[in-house]
Structure 1
Protein backbone atom coordinates (compact mmCIF):
# COMPACT_ATOMS: atom_id res chain seq x y z
CA UNK A 1 0.00 0.00 0.00
CA UNK A 2 1.23 3.49 -0.84
CA UNK A 3 2.38 5.53 2.15
CA UNK A 4 -0.07 8.37 2.67
CA UNK A 5 1.33 11.78 3.63
CA UNK A 6 0.10 13.01 7.03
CA UNK A 7 -2.63 15.59 6.41
CA UNK A 8 -6.31 15.94 7.34
CA UNK A 9 -7.34 16.84 3.79
CA UNK A 10 -7.48 14.18 1.09
CA UNK A 11 -8.20 16.83 -1.59
CA UNK A 12 -7.50 20.56 -1.50
CA UNK A 13 -8.28 22.30 -4.78
CA UNK A 14 -8.60 26.04 -5.40
CA UNK A 15 -9.67 27.93 -8.52
CA UNK A 16 -9.70 24.96 -10.92
CA UNK A 17 -10.24 26.03 -14.54
CA UNK A 18 -10.56 23.99 -17.72
CA UNK A 19 -11.51 25.30 -21.15
CA UNK A 20 -12.24 23.58 -24.45
CA UNK A 21 -12.06 26.19 -27.19
CA UNK A 22 -14.56 28.90 -26.27
CA UNK A 23 -16.28 26.72 -23.69
CA UNK A 24 -15.21 26.96 -20.05
CA UNK A 25 -16.14 23.54 -18.66
CA UNK A 26 -14.78 24.23 -15.16
CA UNK A 27 -14.84 27.80 -13.89
CA UNK A 28 -12.82 28.46 -10.70
CA UNK A 29 -14.02 25.48 -8.66
CA UNK A 30 -12.79 25.02 -5.08
CA UNK A 31 -13.01 21.67 -3.28
CA UNK A 32 -11.89 20.34 0.10
CA UNK A 33 -12.36 16.65 0.86
CA UNK A 34 -11.53 15.35 4.33
CA UNK A 35 -9.98 11.98 5.06
CA UNK A 36 -12.44 9.16 5.55
CA UNK A 37 -15.53 10.82 4.08
CA UNK A 38 -17.70 10.42 1.01
CA UNK A 39 -17.74 13.81 -0.69
CA UNK A 40 -20.34 14.20 -3.40
CA UNK A 41 -20.05 16.43 -6.47
CA UNK A 42 -23.62 16.84 -7.69
CA UNK A 43 -24.73 18.28 -11.00
CA UNK A 44 -26.44 17.52 -14.32
CA UNK A 45 -24.72 16.11 -17.38
CA UNK A 46 -22.27 18.66 -18.75
CA UNK A 47 -21.93 20.56 -15.47
CA UNK A 48 -18.16 19.94 -15.28
CA UNK A 49 -18.09 17.10 -12.74
CA UNK A 50 -16.11 14.58 -14.79
CA UNK A 51 -13.73 17.26 -16.08
CA UNK A 52 -12.98 18.33 -12.49
CA UNK A 53 -12.32 14.75 -11.46
CA UNK A 54 -10.04 14.12 -14.46
CA UNK A 55 -7.91 17.16 -13.60
CA UNK A 56 -7.50 15.94 -10.03
CA UNK A 57 -6.57 12.46 -11.30
CA UNK A 58 -3.94 13.93 -13.73
CA UNK A 59 -5.92 12.67 -16.72
CA UNK A 60 -6.41 16.27 -17.91
CA UNK A 61 -4.12 19.26 -17.45
CA UNK A 62 -5.36 22.23 -15.45
CA UNK A 63 -5.72 25.55 -17.28
CA UNK A 64 -5.90 27.39 -13.98
CA UNK A 65 -5.87 26.89 -10.23
CA UNK A 66 -4.01 24.42 -8.08
CA UNK A 67 -4.71 21.14 -6.34
CA UNK A 68 -3.15 18.84 -3.79
CA UNK A 69 -3.94 15.21 -2.96
CA UNK A 70 -2.91 14.38 0.62
CA UNK A 71 -0.65 17.42 0.39
CA UNK A 72 1.02 16.29 -2.86
CA UNK A 73 0.94 18.83 -5.70
CA UNK A 74 -1.07 17.50 -8.65
CA UNK A 75 0.87 19.51 -11.27
CA UNK A 76 4.36 18.86 -9.97
CA UNK A 77 4.13 15.23 -8.84
CA UNK A 78 1.63 13.45 -11.13
CA UNK A 79 3.35 10.07 -10.71
CA UNK A 80 2.91 10.27 -6.94
CA UNK A 81 -0.73 11.29 -7.39
CA UNK A 82 -1.42 8.16 -9.47
CA UNK A 83 -0.20 6.02 -6.58
CA UNK A 84 -2.62 7.76 -4.19
CA UNK A 85 -5.74 7.65 -6.36
CA UNK A 86 -7.93 4.91 -7.80
CA UNK A 87 -10.34 5.95 -10.56
CA UNK A 88 -13.57 4.25 -11.63
CA UNK A 89 -15.04 6.00 -14.67
CA UNK A 90 -18.55 5.97 -16.08
CA UNK A 91 -17.69 3.24 -18.56
CA UNK A 92 -16.15 -0.13 -17.71
CA UNK A 93 -12.48 -0.37 -18.67
CA UNK A 94 -12.34 -4.18 -18.57
CA UNK A 95 -11.61 -6.51 -21.51
CA UNK A 96 -14.83 -8.31 -22.46
CA UNK A 97 -13.02 -11.32 -23.93
CA UNK A 98 -11.19 -12.09 -20.68
CA UNK A 99 -12.69 -13.55 -17.52
CA UNK A 100 -13.17 -11.58 -14.33
CA UNK A 101 -10.15 -13.23 -12.78
CA UNK A 102 -7.97 -12.66 -15.87
CA UNK A 103 -8.89 -8.97 -15.96
CA UNK A 104 -7.91 -8.42 -12.34
CA UNK A 105 -4.71 -10.47 -12.68
CA UNK A 106 -3.74 -8.44 -15.76
CA UNK A 107 -4.41 -5.11 -14.03
CA UNK A 108 -2.25 -6.26 -11.12
CA UNK A 109 0.63 -7.10 -13.42
CA UNK A 110 0.28 -3.77 -15.25
CA UNK A 111 0.54 -2.02 -11.88
CA UNK A 112 3.80 -3.77 -11.06
CA UNK A 113 2.62 -6.62 -8.85
CA UNK A 114 4.32 -10.00 -9.13
CA UNK A 115 2.37 -12.81 -10.77
CA UNK A 116 1.70 -14.54 -7.43
CA UNK A 117 0.69 -11.27 -5.76
CA UNK A 118 -1.63 -10.48 -8.69
CA UNK A 119 -3.29 -13.89 -8.35
CA UNK A 120 -3.84 -13.43 -4.63
CA UNK A 121 -5.17 -9.89 -5.09
CA UNK A 122 -7.54 -11.00 -7.86
CA UNK A 123 -8.98 -13.79 -5.71
CA UNK A 124 -9.38 -11.44 -2.74
CA UNK A 125 -11.17 -8.74 -4.76
CA UNK A 126 -13.50 -11.21 -6.48
CA UNK A 127 -14.52 -12.50 -3.06
CA UNK A 128 -14.87 -9.01 -1.61
CA UNK A 129 -17.16 -7.85 -4.42
CA UNK A 130 -19.29 -10.99 -4.57
CA UNK A 131 -17.93 -12.14 -7.93
CA UNK A 132 -16.22 -15.40 -6.99
CA UNK A 133 -18.82 -17.56 -8.71
CA UNK A 134 -18.27 -15.65 -11.96
CA UNK A 135 -14.47 -15.63 -11.79
CA UNK A 136 -14.06 -17.85 -14.88
CA UNK A 137 -16.82 -16.29 -16.99
CA UNK A 138 -16.03 -13.87 -19.81
CA UNK A 139 -16.96 -10.26 -19.09
CA UNK A 140 -19.28 -10.25 -22.12
CA UNK A 141 -21.61 -12.49 -20.08
CA UNK A 142 -21.67 -10.16 -17.04
CA UNK A 143 -24.66 -8.03 -16.13
CA UNK A 144 -24.26 -4.26 -15.91
CA UNK A 145 -24.00 -4.38 -12.13
CA UNK A 146 -21.35 -7.10 -12.22
CA UNK A 147 -19.29 -5.06 -14.70
CA UNK A 148 -19.47 -1.99 -12.47
CA UNK A 149 -18.40 -4.00 -9.40
CA UNK A 150 -15.49 -5.53 -11.33
CA UNK A 151 -14.43 -2.09 -12.58
CA UNK A 152 -14.49 -0.78 -9.01
CA UNK A 153 -12.50 -3.81 -7.87
CA UNK A 154 -9.87 -3.11 -10.55
CA UNK A 155 -9.42 0.43 -9.24
CA UNK A 156 -8.58 -0.99 -5.79
CA UNK A 157 -5.78 -3.34 -6.84
CA UNK A 158 -3.10 -0.96 -5.57
CA UNK A 159 -5.16 -0.22 -2.42
CA UNK A 160 -5.30 3.56 -3.00
CA UNK A 161 -6.32 5.71 -0.03
CA UNK A 162 -8.46 7.97 -2.26
CA UNK A 163 -11.04 6.64 -4.71
CA UNK A 164 -12.68 8.70 -7.47
CA UNK A 165 -16.07 7.31 -8.49
CA UNK A 166 -17.44 9.01 -11.58
CA UNK A 167 -21.20 8.35 -11.71
CA UNK A 168 -20.73 4.74 -10.55
CA UNK A 169 -24.40 3.69 -10.84
CA UNK A 170 -25.29 5.21 -14.22
CA UNK A 171 -27.53 2.80 -16.12
CA UNK A 172 -27.99 0.34 -13.24
CA UNK A 173 -31.36 -0.94 -12.05
CA UNK A 174 -32.53 0.06 -8.52
CA UNK A 175 -31.52 -3.25 -6.92
CA UNK A 176 -28.00 -3.15 -8.37
CA UNK A 177 -27.65 0.53 -7.44
CA UNK A 178 -28.40 -0.43 -3.85
CA UNK A 179 -25.70 -3.10 -3.96
CA UNK A 180 -23.19 -0.56 -5.28
CA UNK A 181 -24.15 1.83 -2.49
CA UNK A 182 -23.46 -0.89 0.08
CA UNK A 183 -20.07 -1.54 -1.55
CA UNK A 184 -19.17 2.15 -1.32
CA UNK A 185 -20.17 2.23 2.35
CA UNK A 186 -17.91 -0.78 2.94
CA UNK A 187 -14.99 1.13 1.37
CA UNK A 188 -15.48 3.96 3.86
CA UNK A 189 -15.70 1.55 6.79
CA UNK A 190 -12.40 0.11 5.54
CA UNK A 191 -10.70 3.52 5.84
CA UNK A 192 -10.91 4.80 2.25
CA UNK A 193 -11.86 8.31 1.18
CA UNK A 194 -14.30 8.64 -1.71
CA UNK A 195 -14.90 11.54 -4.10
CA UNK A 196 -18.17 10.74 -5.84
CA UNK A 197 -19.65 12.51 -8.84
CA UNK A 198 -23.32 11.94 -9.57
CA UNK A 199 -26.37 13.44 -11.23
CA UNK A 200 -28.68 11.40 -9.00
CA UNK A 201 -29.95 13.48 -6.10
CA UNK A 202 -31.00 10.44 -4.08
CA UNK A 203 -27.53 8.93 -4.48
CA UNK A 204 -25.85 12.04 -3.09
CA UNK A 205 -28.37 12.12 -0.24
CA UNK A 206 -27.77 8.45 0.59
CA UNK A 207 -23.97 8.38 0.44
CA UNK A 208 -22.34 11.78 0.81
CA UNK A 209 -21.53 13.41 4.13
CA UNK A 210 -20.96 16.68 2.28
CA UNK A 211 -22.00 17.79 -1.19
CA UNK A 212 -20.77 20.41 -3.66
CA UNK A 213 -23.39 21.44 -6.21
CA UNK A 214 -21.85 22.28 -9.61
CA UNK A 215 -23.81 23.90 -12.41
CA UNK A 216 -22.45 25.15 -15.75
CA UNK A 217 -18.87 24.74 -14.54
CA UNK A 218 -19.28 26.68 -11.29
CA UNK A 219 -19.70 25.54 -7.71
CA UNK A 220 -22.98 27.12 -6.62
CA UNK A 221 -23.42 25.57 -3.16
CA UNK A 222 -21.75 23.28 -0.63
CA UNK A 223 -22.75 21.67 2.65
CA UNK A 224 -24.16 18.58 4.27
CA UNK A 225 -27.44 17.29 2.79
CA UNK A 226 -29.33 18.72 5.78
CA UNK A 227 -27.59 22.08 5.49
CA UNK A 228 -28.45 22.34 1.81
CA UNK A 229 -32.06 21.42 2.47
CA UNK A 230 -32.37 23.91 5.31
CA UNK A 231 -30.83 26.68 3.20
CA UNK A 232 -33.67 26.75 0.68
CA UNK A 233 -36.70 26.74 2.91
CA UNK A 234 -38.61 25.51 5.89
CA UNK A 235 -39.99 22.10 6.73
CA UNK A 236 -43.45 21.14 5.56
CA UNK A 237 -46.26 19.66 7.64
CA UNK A 238 -48.34 17.24 5.60
CA UNK A 239 -51.79 16.47 7.05
CA UNK A 240 -54.64 14.22 6.07
CA UNK A 241 -57.86 14.17 8.08
CA UNK A 242 -59.76 11.00 8.98
CA UNK A 243 -62.92 12.56 7.60
CA UNK A 244 -62.66 14.51 4.35
CA UNK A 245 -65.55 16.72 5.53
CA UNK A 246 -63.32 18.03 8.34
CA UNK A 247 -60.69 19.40 5.96
CA UNK A 248 -62.17 22.90 5.69
CA UNK A 249 -62.34 23.29 9.48
CA UNK A 250 -58.80 21.89 9.80
CA UNK A 251 -57.56 24.51 7.33
CA UNK A 252 -58.98 27.21 9.61
CA UNK A 253 -57.18 25.72 12.61
CA UNK A 254 -53.84 25.50 10.77
CA UNK A 255 -54.20 29.07 9.51
CA UNK A 256 -54.93 30.33 13.04
CA UNK A 257 -52.00 28.48 14.67
CA UNK A 258 -49.32 29.11 12.04
CA UNK A 259 -50.50 32.35 10.48
CA UNK A 260 -49.91 30.71 7.10
CA UNK A 261 -52.33 29.55 4.42
CA UNK A 262 -52.03 25.77 3.97
CA UNK A 263 -52.01 24.35 0.46
CA UNK A 264 -54.71 21.78 -0.26
CA UNK A 265 -53.66 18.54 -1.97
CA UNK A 266 -56.91 17.13 -3.37
CA UNK A 267 -55.23 14.12 -4.96
CA UNK A 268 -53.96 13.07 -1.52
CA UNK A 269 -57.04 14.26 0.35
CA UNK A 270 -55.03 16.53 2.63
CA UNK A 271 -53.00 19.70 2.96
CA UNK A 272 -49.42 20.95 3.27
CA UNK A 273 -48.37 23.78 5.57
CA UNK A 274 -44.99 25.51 5.68
CA UNK A 275 -43.22 25.47 9.05
CA UNK A 276 -40.69 28.12 10.02
CA UNK A 277 -39.86 25.83 12.96
CA UNK A 278 -40.51 22.08 12.82
CA UNK A 279 -41.52 22.19 16.50
CA UNK A 280 -44.65 24.17 15.52
CA UNK A 281 -46.08 20.94 14.12
CA UNK A 282 -46.89 19.88 17.69
CA UNK A 283 -48.88 23.12 18.21
CA UNK A 284 -50.99 22.33 15.15
CA UNK A 285 -51.69 18.75 16.24
CA UNK A 286 -52.72 19.87 19.73
CA UNK A 287 -55.04 22.53 18.32
CA UNK A 288 -56.67 20.04 15.96
CA UNK A 289 -57.27 17.62 18.82
CA UNK A 290 -58.75 20.37 20.99
CA UNK A 291 -61.10 21.16 18.10
CA UNK A 292 -62.27 17.57 18.03
CA UNK A 293 -60.76 16.88 14.59
CA UNK A 294 -59.32 13.43 13.93
CA UNK A 295 -56.08 13.04 11.95
CA UNK A 296 -55.45 10.09 9.64
CA UNK A 297 -51.77 10.95 9.07
CA UNK A 298 -49.28 13.71 9.84
CA UNK A 299 -45.66 13.97 8.68
CA UNK A 300 -42.98 16.67 8.81
CA UNK A 301 -40.54 16.68 5.91
CA UNK A 302 -37.53 18.76 4.97
CA UNK A 303 -37.13 19.88 1.35
CA UNK A 304 -35.72 17.18 -0.91
CA UNK A 305 -32.40 17.60 -2.73
CA UNK A 306 -34.48 17.89 -5.92
CA UNK A 307 -36.09 21.01 -4.46
CA UNK A 308 -32.68 22.26 -3.31
CA UNK A 309 -31.20 21.89 -6.79
CA UNK A 310 -34.16 23.62 -8.41
CA UNK A 311 -34.00 26.50 -5.93
CA UNK A 312 -30.24 27.00 -6.33
CA UNK A 313 -29.92 26.63 -10.10
CA UNK A 314 -33.38 27.47 -11.41
CA UNK A 315 -33.66 24.16 -13.28
CA UNK A 316 -33.82 20.44 -12.61
CA UNK A 317 -30.82 18.17 -12.19
CA UNK A 318 -31.35 16.56 -15.61
CA UNK A 319 -32.08 19.67 -17.67
CA UNK A 320 -28.56 20.36 -18.94
CA UNK A 321 -27.17 19.23 -22.28
CA UNK A 322 -23.77 17.59 -22.53
CA UNK A 323 -20.67 19.75 -22.54
CA UNK A 324 -18.02 19.32 -25.27
CA UNK A 325 -15.97 17.28 -22.83
CA UNK A 326 -18.84 14.87 -22.20
CA UNK A 327 -19.49 14.48 -25.94
CA UNK A 328 -15.84 13.89 -26.86
CA UNK A 329 -15.45 11.27 -24.17
Structure 2
Protein backbone atom coordinates (compact mmCIF):
# COMPACT_ATOMS: atom_id res chain seq x y z
CA UNK A 1 0.00 0.00 0.00
CA UNK A 2 1.36 3.41 -0.98
CA UNK A 3 1.77 5.62 2.08
CA UNK A 4 3.59 8.63 0.64
CA UNK A 5 3.12 9.80 -2.94
CA UNK A 6 4.73 12.81 -4.59
CA UNK A 7 3.36 13.53 -8.04
CA UNK A 8 5.10 15.93 -10.44
CA UNK A 9 6.36 18.09 -7.57
CA UNK A 10 8.28 21.27 -8.35
CA UNK A 11 9.63 23.67 -5.73
CA UNK A 12 11.15 27.07 -6.55
CA UNK A 13 12.91 29.71 -4.47
CA UNK A 14 13.12 33.24 -5.81
CA UNK A 15 16.00 35.58 -5.02
CA UNK A 16 16.57 39.15 -6.14
CA UNK A 17 18.85 37.96 -8.93
CA UNK A 18 17.35 34.70 -10.09
CA UNK A 19 14.95 31.84 -9.49
CA UNK A 20 16.35 28.61 -8.09
CA UNK A 21 14.48 25.39 -8.83
CA UNK A 22 15.10 23.05 -5.87
CA UNK A 23 12.83 20.23 -7.08
CA UNK A 24 11.99 19.54 -10.71
CA UNK A 25 8.90 17.49 -11.54
CA UNK A 26 9.63 14.90 -8.83
CA UNK A 27 7.43 11.82 -8.56
CA UNK A 28 7.99 9.22 -5.86
CA UNK A 29 5.93 6.59 -4.05
CA UNK A 30 6.86 4.89 -0.78
CA UNK A 31 4.98 1.93 0.65
CA UNK A 32 4.33 1.21 4.31
CA UNK A 33 7.42 -0.38 5.84
CA UNK A 34 9.64 0.54 2.88
CA UNK A 35 13.02 2.22 3.32
CA UNK A 36 13.99 4.48 0.43
CA UNK A 37 17.29 6.37 0.38
CA UNK A 38 18.02 9.41 -1.79
CA UNK A 39 21.66 10.20 -2.42
CA UNK A 40 22.77 13.64 -3.49
CA UNK A 41 25.46 16.26 -3.12
CA UNK A 42 24.95 19.50 -1.19
CA UNK A 43 22.34 21.79 -2.79
CA UNK A 44 21.03 18.89 -4.87
CA UNK A 45 17.50 19.27 -3.48
CA UNK A 46 17.61 16.36 -1.03
CA UNK A 47 16.66 18.37 2.08
CA UNK A 48 13.95 20.27 0.19
CA UNK A 49 12.54 16.90 -0.85
CA UNK A 50 12.13 15.91 2.81
CA UNK A 51 10.65 19.25 3.83
CA UNK A 52 8.04 19.06 1.09
CA UNK A 53 7.31 15.41 1.92
CA UNK A 54 6.81 16.40 5.56
CA UNK A 55 4.39 19.20 4.75
CA UNK A 56 6.83 21.77 6.16
CA UNK A 57 6.87 23.49 2.77
CA UNK A 58 4.27 23.39 0.02
CA UNK A 59 5.22 22.53 -3.56
CA UNK A 60 4.73 25.20 -6.20
CA UNK A 61 3.43 22.58 -8.61
CA UNK A 62 2.28 18.99 -8.14
CA UNK A 63 0.83 17.22 -5.12
CA UNK A 64 2.01 15.40 -2.02
CA UNK A 65 -0.30 12.77 -0.57
CA UNK A 66 -0.05 10.86 2.68
CA UNK A 67 -2.26 7.78 2.80
CA UNK A 68 -4.36 9.33 0.03
CA UNK A 69 -4.74 12.70 1.74
CA UNK A 70 -3.23 15.80 0.14
CA UNK A 71 -0.65 17.43 2.43
CA UNK A 72 -0.49 21.19 2.80
CA UNK A 73 2.20 23.35 4.42
CA UNK A 74 1.91 23.21 8.20
CA UNK A 75 -0.27 20.10 8.09
CA UNK A 76 -1.10 18.65 11.51
CA UNK A 77 0.17 15.22 10.45
CA UNK A 78 3.74 16.37 11.11
CA UNK A 79 4.71 15.23 14.60
CA UNK A 80 1.98 12.59 14.74
CA UNK A 81 1.65 10.47 11.59
CA UNK A 82 4.87 11.87 10.11
CA UNK A 83 8.17 12.20 11.97
CA UNK A 84 10.95 14.47 10.70
CA UNK A 85 14.47 14.44 12.03
CA UNK A 86 17.88 15.95 11.44
CA UNK A 87 20.72 17.14 13.67
CA UNK A 88 19.04 20.52 14.25
CA UNK A 89 16.66 18.88 16.69
CA UNK A 90 17.27 20.73 19.96
CA UNK A 91 14.24 22.74 21.03
CA UNK A 92 15.75 24.12 24.25
CA UNK A 93 19.46 24.52 24.75
CA UNK A 94 20.57 23.10 28.08
CA UNK A 95 17.62 20.78 28.70
CA UNK A 96 18.12 17.09 29.38
CA UNK A 97 17.88 14.52 26.63
CA UNK A 98 14.84 12.79 28.12
CA UNK A 99 12.97 16.11 28.26
CA UNK A 100 13.92 16.84 24.65
CA UNK A 101 12.42 13.53 23.55
CA UNK A 102 9.27 14.10 25.63
CA UNK A 103 8.57 17.52 24.07
CA UNK A 104 5.96 16.44 21.52
CA UNK A 105 3.96 14.43 24.07
CA UNK A 106 4.01 17.30 26.55
CA UNK A 107 2.85 19.68 23.83
CA UNK A 108 -0.22 17.48 23.33
CA UNK A 109 -1.09 17.57 27.02
CA UNK A 110 0.48 14.31 28.18
CA UNK A 111 1.29 14.16 31.90
CA UNK A 112 4.96 14.81 32.68
CA UNK A 113 5.63 11.44 34.33
CA UNK A 114 4.01 9.51 31.48
CA UNK A 115 5.79 11.58 28.83
CA UNK A 116 9.18 11.07 30.49
CA UNK A 117 8.55 7.33 30.84
CA UNK A 118 7.68 7.05 27.15
CA UNK A 119 10.73 9.13 26.29
CA UNK A 120 13.03 6.82 28.24
CA UNK A 121 11.51 3.74 26.57
CA UNK A 122 12.05 5.31 23.15
CA UNK A 123 15.64 6.24 24.00
CA UNK A 124 16.21 2.64 25.01
CA UNK A 125 14.81 1.48 21.68
CA UNK A 126 17.32 3.59 19.73
CA UNK A 127 20.27 2.66 21.93
CA UNK A 128 20.57 6.00 23.72
CA UNK A 129 19.16 5.23 27.17
CA UNK A 130 22.49 6.07 28.79
CA UNK A 131 22.12 9.62 27.45
CA UNK A 132 18.74 10.25 29.11
CA UNK A 133 19.92 12.57 31.87
CA UNK A 134 22.68 14.30 29.92
CA UNK A 135 22.58 17.86 28.65
CA UNK A 136 21.90 17.76 24.91
CA UNK A 137 24.95 19.96 24.30
CA UNK A 138 27.31 17.24 25.56
CA UNK A 139 26.32 14.63 22.96
CA UNK A 140 28.50 13.58 20.05
CA UNK A 141 26.95 13.61 16.53
CA UNK A 142 25.99 9.91 16.60
CA UNK A 143 24.27 10.32 19.97
CA UNK A 144 22.55 13.47 18.75
CA UNK A 145 21.11 11.61 15.78
CA UNK A 146 19.90 8.71 17.91
CA UNK A 147 18.18 11.20 20.21
CA UNK A 148 16.71 13.06 17.22
CA UNK A 149 15.32 9.78 15.91
CA UNK A 150 13.87 8.99 19.34
CA UNK A 151 12.22 12.38 19.43
CA UNK A 152 10.56 11.67 16.08
CA UNK A 153 9.61 8.09 17.01
CA UNK A 154 7.95 8.83 20.34
CA UNK A 155 4.69 9.73 18.58
CA UNK A 156 4.75 6.40 16.71
CA UNK A 157 4.69 7.91 13.20
CA UNK A 158 3.85 5.78 10.18
CA UNK A 159 6.40 7.69 8.09
CA UNK A 160 9.85 8.78 9.26
CA UNK A 161 11.87 11.34 7.28
CA UNK A 162 15.58 11.33 8.13
CA UNK A 163 17.94 13.99 6.78
CA UNK A 164 21.63 13.07 6.48
CA UNK A 165 21.93 10.86 9.57
CA UNK A 166 25.66 10.16 9.13
CA UNK A 167 26.71 13.77 8.55
CA UNK A 168 29.58 14.48 10.95
CA UNK A 169 29.32 11.02 12.52
CA UNK A 170 32.52 9.07 13.19
CA UNK A 171 33.06 6.39 10.54
CA UNK A 172 32.93 3.58 13.13
CA UNK A 173 29.49 4.72 14.30
CA UNK A 174 27.88 5.07 10.87
CA UNK A 175 27.03 1.41 10.24
CA UNK A 176 25.34 0.92 13.65
CA UNK A 177 23.32 4.09 13.06
CA UNK A 178 22.20 2.93 9.62
CA UNK A 179 21.41 -0.51 11.06
CA UNK A 180 19.13 1.20 13.59
CA UNK A 181 17.28 2.99 10.79
CA UNK A 182 16.94 -0.31 8.91
CA UNK A 183 15.52 -1.99 12.04
CA UNK A 184 12.89 0.75 12.39
CA UNK A 185 11.73 0.13 8.83
CA UNK A 186 11.60 -3.60 9.54
CA UNK A 187 8.97 -2.94 12.23
CA UNK A 188 6.65 -1.42 9.59
CA UNK A 189 7.56 2.27 9.59
CA UNK A 190 8.08 3.77 6.13
CA UNK A 191 11.32 5.75 5.90
CA UNK A 192 12.61 8.31 3.42
CA UNK A 193 16.30 8.84 4.06
CA UNK A 194 18.60 11.41 2.46
CA UNK A 195 22.33 10.78 2.43
CA UNK A 196 25.52 12.32 1.11
CA UNK A 197 26.97 8.92 0.27
CA UNK A 198 25.47 5.75 -1.15
CA UNK A 199 24.32 3.33 1.57
CA UNK A 200 23.26 -0.29 1.30
CA UNK A 201 20.48 -0.51 3.89
CA UNK A 202 17.61 0.69 1.69
CA UNK A 203 15.01 -1.28 -0.22
CA UNK A 204 15.45 1.26 -3.01
CA UNK A 205 18.33 3.70 -3.47
CA UNK A 206 17.72 6.74 -5.67
CA UNK A 207 19.77 9.82 -6.51
CA UNK A 208 18.93 13.50 -6.84
CA UNK A 209 20.85 16.13 -8.78
CA UNK A 210 19.82 19.73 -9.43
CA UNK A 211 16.36 18.90 -8.14
CA UNK A 212 15.80 15.95 -10.46
CA UNK A 213 15.12 12.57 -8.87
CA UNK A 214 16.87 9.82 -10.78
CA UNK A 215 16.91 6.05 -11.02
CA UNK A 216 18.21 3.30 -8.82
CA UNK A 217 21.71 3.55 -7.36
CA UNK A 218 23.32 0.19 -6.63
CA UNK A 219 26.11 0.29 -4.02
CA UNK A 220 29.12 -1.61 -5.25
CA UNK A 221 31.75 -3.25 -3.05
CA UNK A 222 35.20 -1.78 -3.58
CA UNK A 223 38.09 -4.01 -4.57
CA UNK A 224 40.78 -4.05 -1.88
CA UNK A 225 44.22 -3.67 -3.44
CA UNK A 226 47.53 -4.21 -1.62
CA UNK A 227 49.57 -1.12 -0.90
CA UNK A 228 52.67 -2.76 -2.31
CA UNK A 229 53.57 -5.97 -4.08
CA UNK A 230 55.37 -8.67 -2.18
CA UNK A 231 58.92 -9.50 -3.21
CA UNK A 232 57.74 -12.69 -4.90
CA UNK A 233 55.10 -10.80 -6.89
CA UNK A 234 57.61 -8.12 -7.86
CA UNK A 235 60.00 -10.67 -9.33
CA UNK A 236 57.29 -12.60 -11.18
Q: Same fold (TM over 0.5)?
A: yes
Cα distance change, pair 140–77 in 1 and its aligned pair in 2 (3 A): closer
Question: Aligned residue for 1:53?
Answer: 50
Answering whether residue 166 of structure 2 is matched by residue 169 of structure 1, we say: yes
Please, what TM-score do these two structures have when normalized by structure 2?
A: 0.86
From 113, 125, 139, the equivalent of 2:136 is 139
- C-alpha change, 1:184 and 1:16, in structure 2 (3 Å) is same
Please point out which of 5, 14, 22 is paired with 2:7: 14
Q: Describe the superposition over 1:1-41 as per-residue Cα deviations: whole angstroms up to 9, x where unpaired.
A: xxxxxxx1121111111111111111111111122111011
**Larger helix percent:** 1
- Asked which structure has the greater RCO (Cα within 8 Å, sep 6+), the reply is 2
Distance, in Å, in 2 between the alignment partners of 1:91 and 1:105 is: 16
Where do 4+ consecutive residues of structure 1 move more than 4 Å?
242-246
Q: 1:92 to 1:19 in 2, by over 3 A?
A: same
Q: CA deviation at 1:112?
A: 3.8
Aligned residues of 1:72 and 1:81 also touching (Cα < 8 A): no
C-alpha distance in structure 2 between counterparts of 1:245 and 1:86, whole Å = 61
Alignment of 1:297-316 (within 5 A): none
Contact 1:16–1:26 (8 Å) recurs in 2: yes
The equivalent of 2:152 in structure 1 is 155
Q: Is the 8 A contact 1:69 1:81 kept in 2?
A: no
Structure 2 match to 1:114: 111
CA, structure 1 residues 180+112, in 2 after alignment: closer, same or farther (shift >3 Å)? farther
Alignment-derived partner of residue 67 in structure 2 = 70
Question: In the alignment, what sits opposite 1:127?
Answer: 124
Name structure 1 gaps, 5 residues minimum.
1-7, 230-235, 247-329
What is the number of equivalent residue pairs in this alignment?
A: 227
Q: Hey, what does 1:83 align to over in structure 2?
A: 80
Matched-pair contact (CA < 8 Å) for 2:87–2:144 = no
Residue by residue over 1:245-268, the C-alpha shift from the partner in whole angstroms, topping out at 9 and shown as x without a partner, is 66xxxxxxxxxxxxxxxxxxxxxx
Gaps (5+ residues) in structure 2?
A: none
1:182 counterpart = 2:176? no
Partner of 1:215: 209
- Seen in structure 2, the aligned counterparts of structure 1 residues 123 and 30 have a Cα distance that, compared at 3 Å, is same
Q: Report if the CA contact (8 A) 1:16-1:52 is conserved.
A: no
Larger radius of gyration: 1
Structure 1 residues 30 and 97, CA gap change in structure 2 (3 angstroms): same
Report the secondary structure of 2:89's partner residue.
coil
| Partner-residue secondary structure (3-state), 1:87 | strand
Matched, 1:199 2:192: no
CA contact (8 A) 1:58 1:82 kept: no
